[in-house]
Structure 1
Amino acid sequence: MINAKKLEEIAKQISDSMPPGVKQFADDMEGKTKQILQSKLAQLDLVTREEFDVQTRVLMRTREKLADLEQIVARLEAQQDSSEDKQLDSPPNQD
């Protein structure tokens, strides 16, 4: 496996051995690239991780409530079917 510290040492050695003009150019390019990326990302309609987590919890609670309601509806339908069956099985009232 690659040693991260060793890679950092190599990168530092390369950076230190660069001529000042090239190093300044690289730093400028990095800064400009960061600015452009931040600008473009700001234009996107993104949510924060916190907002995403909140909405995930809301969705989980909504799903739980939906499952509960589905069970209640199934019980009510079963009760209704049962009472309809009883009405069909009982003889009509002859007064």
Structure 2
Amino acid sequence: MPSIEDLATRLSQALPPQVGPIRDELHANFRAILQSQLARLDLVPREEFEAAREMLAHSRRKLDAMEQRLAALEAERKA
């Protein structure tokens, strides 16, 4: 995944040659805009996401086991 600096560099390099004298200023502006817009997003670090995903998978396994146990108890009760 490209960094903010990489994205700002790509944007400034994509500008036409006529803006050459202000390219550095535009690069700084691109970087500032990207940082401010990304800060507004509700993002979580990858580590937090992975931890939440593992916790959800663990809860799902426990729920499946409980459902099986309940089904077995209900079958016993009917017999």
TM-score computed with the length of structure 1 as normaliser: 0.59
* Corresponding residue number in structure 1 for 2:46: 49
The whole-number CA distance in structure 2 between the counterparts of 1:31 and 1:51 is: 30
Aligned amino acid, residue 50 of structure 1: E
* Corresponding residue number in structure 2 for 1:37: 34
The whole-number CA distance in structure 1 between the counterparts of 2:70 and 2:77 is: 10
Aligned amino acid, residue 46 of structure 2: R
TM-score computed with the length of structure 2 as normaliser: 0.70
Unmatched 5+ stretches in structure 1: 1-17, 83-95
Relative CO higher for 1 or 2, CA cutoff 8 Å, sep ≥ 6? 2
* Corresponding residue number in structure 2 for 1:67: 64
The whole-number CA distance in structure 1 between the counterparts of 2:47 and 2:54 is: 11
The whole-number CA distance in structure 2 between the counterparts of 1:75 and 1:25 is: 74
RMSD (Å), alpha carbons: 1.8
Q: What do the CA deviations read for 1:5-39 (whole angstroms, capped 9, x no partner)?
A: xxxxxxxxxxxxx7xx81x5222212211111111
Larger radius of gyration: 1
How many residue pairs align between the two structures? 63
* Corresponding residue number in structure 2 for 1:58: 55
Unmatched 5+ stretches in structure 2: 1-16
